[in-house]
């Protein structure tokens, strides 16, 4: 029996996924019709991106799961018409992309690369940076992406302090949770990386009060969610020298409006939401494997807990 997979991920997306997904489904022993248009009552699985025009899931009475192409699900999880199980994208290639982005920007700050890139002719300052073992990097969020980044940074020799909403244990990482744990991590973090989900509990977590806990001149890297940082508080902290520089990949409004102060601030680096892109070849294997599991009666991988929002 052939399954009907509805690709509801925006114009042209199916073109990029068709060949790799057909190959991945075949490898799992599954036959499927891939389409971006189908009668709702015939659809077995919905492959989804939150930017899709599809917002009402009520007619999809046969669908066994909605499989997101994005790691973040905040734009879909609160949809009251969504009664089907929802899986977020956890893809080794996506994780690797995030690890490379985070490590690259941490090393940029750690080694003081900007000073050398912008140095004037004849500037022969020979100040050497500390070794990684003498630098503490804080990481807010220890989910799949955060844990991978924390362990990669520890592998480079950094002292890594991680914080999560719930208790967590990771080899080589000083893990903390709760309000007191957050304070401890922030006070130690010369470089702070935020990889928290977008939930009511994380909105504006980094505000004037918490930014003031960081060591003066600390650097911030945010490839997680734009809502975690209070924009106005960050700009004030940058202007005051409390924060030395911020690299931001995610924003409350995307694309970031050209008039936004982040574009024009000398201590802000803007990147266009590129830290962790979903790649069709590897994501297709994740999708096919999850469909095969459900068809075999096994639990859905990476199912979203609606009460937590991720």
Residues acting as catalytic residues = 225, 273
Tokens of 205: 């977590």
Task: Assess contact for 302 and 87: CB atoms under 8 A.
Answer: yes
CA torsion, points 180, 182, 187, 193, in degrees to nearest 10?
Answer: 170
Tokens of 3: 């399954």
CB-based contacts of 263: which residues, under 8 Å, 6+ apart? 256, 270
Distance of CA 86 to the CA centre of its chain: 17
R_g of the chain, CA atoms, integer Å: 21
Ramachandran assignment for 35, one of left (phi > 0), alpha (psi -120 to 50 degrees), beta (any other): beta
């Amino acid at each position: 029996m052939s399954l009907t997979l509805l690709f509801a991920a925006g114009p042209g997306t199916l073109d990029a996924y068709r060949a790799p997904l057909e190959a991945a489904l075949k490898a799992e022993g599954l036959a499927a019709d891939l389409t971006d248009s189908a009668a709702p009552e015939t659809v077995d699985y919905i492959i989804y991106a939150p930017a899709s025009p599809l917002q009402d899931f009520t007619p999809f009475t046969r669908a066994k799961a909605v499989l997101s192409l994005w790691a973040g699900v905040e734009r879909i999880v609160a949809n009251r018409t969504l009664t089907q199980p929802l899986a977020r994208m956890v893809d080794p290639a996506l994780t690797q992309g995030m690890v490379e982005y985070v490590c690259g920007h941490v090393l940029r700050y750690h080694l003081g690369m900007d000073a050398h890139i912008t140095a004037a002719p004849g500037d022969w300052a020979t100040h050497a940076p500390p070794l990684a073992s003498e630098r503490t990097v804080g990481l807010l969020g220890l989910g799949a992406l955060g844990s991978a980044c924390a362990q990669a940074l520890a592998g480079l020799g950094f002292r890594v302090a991680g914080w999560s909403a719930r208790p967590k244990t990771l080899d080589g990482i000083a893990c903390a949770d709760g309000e007191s744990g957050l304070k401890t991590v922030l006070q130690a973090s010369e470089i702070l990386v935020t990889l928290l989900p977008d939930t009511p509990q994380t909105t504006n977590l980094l505000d004037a009060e918490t930014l003031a806990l960081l060591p003066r001149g600390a650097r911030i890297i945010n490839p997680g969610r734009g809502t975690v940082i209070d924009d106005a508080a960050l700009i004030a902290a940058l202007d005051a020298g409390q924060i030395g520089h911020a690299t931001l990949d995610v924003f409350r409004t995307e694309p970031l409006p050209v008039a936004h102060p982040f574009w024009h601030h000398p201590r802000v680096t803007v990147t266009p939401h590129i830290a962790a892109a979903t790649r069709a070849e590897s994501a297709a294997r994740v999708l096919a494997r999850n469909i095969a599991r459900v068809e075999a009666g096994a639990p859905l991988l990476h199912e979203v807990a609606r009460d937590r929002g991720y």
